Amino acid sequence: MLDIAEELHRWVEQGRDFAVATVVATGGSAPRQPGAALAVDRDGTAIGSVSGGCVEGAVYELCRQALEDGSTVLERFGYSDDDAFAVGLTCGGVIDILVTPVRADGPARPVYAAALAGAARGEAAAVARVTSGPEALLGRVLLVRGAAGQEGGFGGHEGGLGGHPALDRAVAGQARAMLDAGRTGTVEIGADGSRCGQPLTVLVESSVPPPRMIVFGAIDFASALVRAGKFLGHHVTVCDARPVFATRERFPEADEVVVRWPHEYLADTEVDGRTVLCVLTHDAKFDVPLLRLALRLPVAYVGAMGSRRTHLDRLARLREVGVSDLELARLRSPIGLDLGARTPEETALSIAAEVVALRRGGSGVPLTGAHTPIHHEGGGGRVGSVA
């Protein structure tokens, strides 16, 4: 749902009633991941997608029905065979869809409104909804904003919101952990943890600011990499100590262009477990102090450009300044996957491909003839459990 937050926020501001269908779990080669959503308003306007087209029509009708009767429903769509008129996934996967009406007069509307507004502004927020458990809890929503508190909750079986404080605390703790990691998925809560007498499954959707990509070295390859990083949804910074090269005119698509010594900038800027660092300078006076620091930071990716000879020389210099073999094992160098790249655009593609493969657990080998999964985030979207 939060993947279409900007559009839904506008609907909320306009006072529209709508129903939102959200992928809550997947199996096999499902086309979309948990959190993907399709929303439909009273006029029949639709935004978003839950399957890339396979079951959109059926889900659209479920949303229209939910708006009419006010009921939250959970529907499973599986494999569709050769019958062209069957409703299902031709890819052989399975998806579970939670359809929730969000009416202007609904008790959870203010919580949805706050979540959508925050996500539309790029703020960190996580929304938790029960996807299996007591029917009375379906459609209830809890919003957490890191350390900024929470709104809503899973009300009692007979009452309004906020009637299960122990459950709210358990879910809020899980939601904050997933928000910190920028993850979306389901959490299993056992009967004891739920305080409802039966186990629950809770979908947690996280909306976080875009991950950072910092490109060190304002060279021609950097311009192509900036475009690739933006295409992947990163907030991209270019940093170089040379003011003649690090200019807004040369990198108009970058979010930031910084003129500083790379290692000094990295020491002062904020990074996290999703940050991508690409070192394109291949000059020891820049690379060594920068990589010495970068390889000790909790970031997602550290890659460095250069020939294999440059790489071996760089390793020797880094060992001389105290970088351990364990730290060096994190370095992706020469940077990128082997695509035979030559041009800046091809090189940027090879770097972007390696970033995606590392993030998603891909091997980087051709899918043709391989027997490995196409999607590497399996397990039906389940990411944790609470007793």
pLDDT at 138: 78
Name which CATH class applies to 212-360. Answer: alpha beta
pLDDT at 266: 98
pLDDT in tens, 31-44: 568 888 999 999 99
Provide the residue ranges of all domains of the chain, joining segments of one domain with +: 2-207, 212-360
pLDDT at 157: 41
Which residues lie below 8 Å from residue 93, measured CB to CB, with a gap of 6+?
Answer: 26, 27, 28, 29, 30, 31, 78, 79
Q: Is residue 7 a contact partner of residue 47, using CB atoms and an 8 Å limit?
A: yes
Question: Which residues does the chain have with pLDDT short of 70?
Answer: 28-32, 52-54, 79-93, 146-148, 155-164, 191-197, 370-387
Q: Has this prediction a pTM greater than 0.85?
A: no
Average pLDDT, the chain: 85
pLDDT at 34: 84
Alpha carbon distances (Å) from 367 to 232, 275, 374: 21, 27, 7
pLDDT at 322: 96
| Residue 54 burial by Cβ neighbours in a 10 Å radius (0-12, 13-18, 19+) | buried
